[in-house]
Structure formats: structure tokens, C-alpha cells
Amino acid sequence: MFRSSVTEGFLLFSRPFKEDDTLCELWTEKQGRVRCRISGNPPEPYRQFEIKLSNKAGLPAVSNFRYTQPVLIDSNAARLLGFYVNELLYRLLPAGYGDSSLFGRYISTLLYLNEGENIQPVLRFFEQGVLASLGMAVDYQQDANSLPVVAGQHYRFETGRGFVADAHGRYSGERIIAVNRQDYNLKGALSLARECQRRQIDELLGGGQPILSRQWLVNLIQTKGASEA
């Protein structure tokens, strides 16, 4: 898949493989999502490390990984939120697709989640980054005809196209503009972003298995009293 190289990375998921080996899904700065095997214990989740990847018998082997940062998430609630973030990367991004900008956004997202505040805006921020990396970002500035969104109009959302002017549409231009500004104080703006980005994500999944951690996410947000009316 690629020659030996050194890169920064995070563990997404792991499971036992053969004997003392662990099969790991990594999110790396240079190679994107990488499946590899690690002898012995895998890296800690949500902790940045440096690794050397080599292609051996079709499955990259990791050697000499070393931590370069402390654990970015240290609460159980934030770990559950981080699981959703990891699942988005695992399910949506093709293997070997690197995006250094999204790698940086991943780090920022973990740090924000660990603070435990404004959870939903942080998750929408990361979702939009993943969608943008795949050319599927929701355009909150222009409609499907490349015209500026107008505050006094209403729109419907069409997956893969964007917002379409519609007098009977459920989304007001005012709310769409608020999301574009990341101003979630306006009632309904946060639910608009959640609904539209979820539809884009589901489109990328192509009718396959849904994001499993979504229900955990809903339960956690409701428990924290952070869901939007």
C-alpha cells in the first residue's frame, strides 16, 4: 500500500488478531485511515503517537510507536463522544486517504469534547469537516443554484444538492445563515445542522449499516440535558 514511513496517529479501534498481535484501525496524519497489526499492547485511545508503518505481506506492521502527547480525553462521557467521532472516520473515509487538515480538526474536536461544554456544536464542527474532506459538505452560504441564502426565504434540503428555495420548506434562511456563522443561539439552528449533516452522512453510507454509536450519543446528550428543543 505504501513504503515505510513515520507519521503521527491515533488509535480508532482494535481487536485481538493472532497470538500476541492486535489488529488496529489507525487514523494517521499522512496516510489517513490505516489497518495494521501491532505486536503486544496497542496504543491508548485518544492519545497521539508517532509510528513507523511498513508494508509486510499485505498488512502494514507497526514498530516502535511512541507517545508524543498526553491523553486528550480523560472522562467517560467524553470517551463515548469520541467513539462517535472515531466511527465517522472508520465508516466514511476510504483507507489510505490522508487529510492533514482533518487530522488537525480531529485533535481540536477531542480537546473540545473533553471540556464537556457545547457538545453538539463541536460534533457538528467535526461532521462538517469529514463531509468537506469527501466533497459532501453542506453549503450553508449558497443554495443549490449557487445563489446566496436569503434570511426572509424558506428552503427544503435535498441530499447531495443542498438547500432549494421553497415557500413551504421547513428551514428558514435565517437559521441557515446562523449555522453558516456557527451561531447556535438561534432556536432551531442546531437541529437544522444536525438533520442536514446526518442526511449527507447517511448518503455516504449508501444504505448500509447505520452509525452504531449514534444512539449512545443521543442518550448521553439527553442525560446531560444538552439536547435542543
One pLDDT digit (tens) per residue for the chain, 229 residues: 456 778 999 999 998 888 788 899 999 998 899 998 888 888 999 999 999 887 655 777 776 789 999 999 999 889 999 999 999 999 999 998 889 999 999 999 999 999 998 999 999 999 999 999 999 999 999 999 999 999 999 999 999 999 999 999 999 999 999 999 999 999 999 999 999 999 999 999 987 788 888 877 777 666 665 444 2
Q: Residue 112's pLDDT is what?
A: 96
Question: Cα–Cα distance between 176 and 164 in angstroms, integer?
Answer: 12
Q: Residue 214's pLDDT is what?
A: 81
**181: number of Cβ within 10 Å:** 11
Give the pairing type, strands 32-39 and 61-71.
Answer: parallel
Q: Residue 62's pLDDT is what?
A: 76
**DSSP character for 43?**
P
Q: Where are the domains of the chain?
A: 5-71, 75-229
Contact present, 225 and 186 (Cβ < 8 Å): no
Q: Residue 63's pLDDT is what?
A: 65
Fold of 5-71: OB fold (Dihydrolipoamide Acetyltransferase, E2P) (2.40.50)
**Residue located via cell numbers 453558516:** 180
Q: Residue 137's pLDDT is what?
A: 98
DSSP-assigned beta bridge partners for residue 11 = 26
Question: Cα–Cα distance between 135 and 132 in angstroms, integer?
Answer: 5
Fold of 75-229: de novo design (two linked rop proteins) (1.20.1440)
**61: number of Cβ within 10 Å:** 16
This prediction has a pTM of 0.89
**Residue located via cell numbers 453510507:** 205
Question: Cα–Cα distance between 170 and 22 in angstroms, integer?
Answer: 48
Q: Residue 169's pLDDT is what?
A: 97
DSSP-assigned beta bridge partners for residue 172 = 154
